[in-house]
């Protein structure tokens, strides 16, 4: 019994529809193996909190991901399932997110009896920085950055709303702006109080000099810089944060398993090989390799 062209066509469509499912399962299996290998190497519980911009599959509309209540539920469950004597390694790649979700995760981290290490390969802004403050050690790539944790009310920084009220006569300020200013004062006070809770010396896990606490609070919560200001490794160290520079190669390998979804041609492309002794040599006009200028 032979197959017609249409039979083969439907078989092809069926197999094509299965390919994305198979690829997802293969990728998930690679991620689990990589996490298990990392955990065995450090005898720790590894938790990844990675947010990338994604697109709706049909419309291609970009969607920004951030720390959400769903994230806090999952991270809190992972922490609860971790024995008290097992260290936690949290790998962060996030622009921040909801204050409530961030504070829930941070409180759970500082209550965990064993060591908590935060790894930052690229950036942990806003709420991500707050989670880093809840750790015993912050391990960053030399080019990675943290960010301010000053509160935002809608699209406006709380500090900037207060600046308007300070600079204008009270009679020229609208009631709504005055209400926003009152909320801004409360929001800044709340964030500062929580950051002090993360940093104060009566939390035995912290290794921060008590004399640096107010300097860190002032630098990160008062809005003296923009909310997206990148706090470099050097600046964070100068503040007094416990920064270790240099990530294990396995962190970068893990990040490669959580790529930015592609909607078209890649915006960055390169030959993925380490250069040095293996650098390719350009051929001379006669076809012989040109001498290496480094030799």
Mean pLDDT over 263-285 rounds to 58
**Mean pLDDT, range 246-270, rounded to an integer:** 75
What whole-number percentage of the chain has pLDDT above 70? 73
Give dist(CA 120, CA 123) in Å, integer: 6
For the whole model, what pTM was predicted?
0.78
pLDDT, tens digit, 9 for 90 and up, residues 154-201: 889 999 999 998 888 888 888 898 999 999 999 999 999 999 988 874
Nearest to 134 by CA among 59, 42, 199, 231: 199
For residue range 283-294, list pLDDT tens digits in order. 555 555 545 544
Q: How far apart are CA 193 and CA 285, in angstroms?
A: 69
- CA–CA separation, 51 and 139 (whole Å): 18
Angle (deg, nearest 10), helices 69-80 and 99-111: 10
pLDDT for the residue numbered 2: 56
| Among 32-36, 184-188, 239-243, the range of highest mean pLDDT | 184-188
Alpha helix segments (H runs only) across 43-149: 69-80, 99-111, 127-133
Could you count the other beta carbons within 10 Å of the beta carbon of residue 111? 13
pLDDT tens figures, 135-149: 999 999 999 999 999
Q: Looking at residue 28, what is its pLDDT?
A: 81
DSSP 8-state code for residue 280 = P
DSSP lists the bridge partners of residue 245 as: 140
pLDDT of residue 295: 47
Kind plus residue range of the DSSP H or E element containing 153: strand 152-153
283, β-bridge pairs: 289
Decide if pLDDT at 213 tops 60: yes
Closest CA to 128 of 257, 236, 253: 236
For the ranges 22-26, 47-51, 175-179, 272-276, which has the lowest average pLDDT?
Answer: 272-276
What is the per-residue pLDDT for 105? 95
User: pLDDT, tens digit, for every residue of 72-101?
Assistant: 999 999 999 999 999 999 999 999 888 999
**With contact defined as beta carbons under 8 Å apart, do 87 and 119 qualify?**
no
The Cα 27–Cα 254 span in angstroms is: 11
């Amino acid at each position: 019994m032979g197959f017609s062209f249409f039979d083969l066509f439907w078989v092809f469509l069926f197999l094509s529809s299965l390919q994305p499912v198979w690829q997802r399962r293969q990728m998930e299996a690679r991620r689990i193996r990589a996490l298990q290998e990392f955990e065995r190497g450090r005898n720790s519980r590894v938790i990844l909190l990675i947010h990338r911009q994604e697109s709706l599959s049909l419309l291609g509309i970009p969607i920004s991901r951030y720390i959400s209540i769903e994230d806090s539920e999952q991270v809190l469950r992972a922490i609860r399932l971790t024995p008290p004597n097992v260290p936690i390694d949290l790998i962060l790649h996030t622009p921040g997110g909801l204050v409530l979700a961030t504070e829930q995760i941070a409180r759970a981290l500082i209550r965990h009896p064993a060591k908590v290490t935060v790894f930052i390969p690229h950036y942990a802004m806003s709420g991500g920085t707050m989670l880093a403050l809840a750790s015993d050690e912050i391990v960053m790539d030399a080019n990675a950055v943290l960010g301010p944790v000053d509160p935002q009310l809608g699209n406006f920084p709380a500090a900037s709303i207060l600046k308007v009220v300070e600079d204008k006569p009270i009679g020229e300020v609208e009631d709504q702006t005055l209400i926003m200013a009152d909320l801004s004062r409360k929001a800044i006070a709340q964030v500062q109080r929580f950051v002090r809770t993360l940093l104060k010396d009566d939390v035995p896990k912290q290794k921060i000099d008590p004399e640096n606490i107010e300097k860190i609070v002032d630098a990160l919560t008062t809005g003296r810089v923009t909310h997206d200001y990148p706090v470099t490794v050097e600046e964070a160290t100068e503040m007094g944060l416990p920064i270790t520079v240099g990530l294990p190669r396995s962190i970068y390998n893990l990040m490669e398993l959580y790529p930015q979804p592609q909607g078209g041609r890649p915006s960055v492309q390169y030959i993925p090989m380490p250069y040095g002794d293996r650098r390719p040599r350009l051929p001379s006009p006669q076809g012989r390799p040109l001498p290496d200028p480094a030799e």
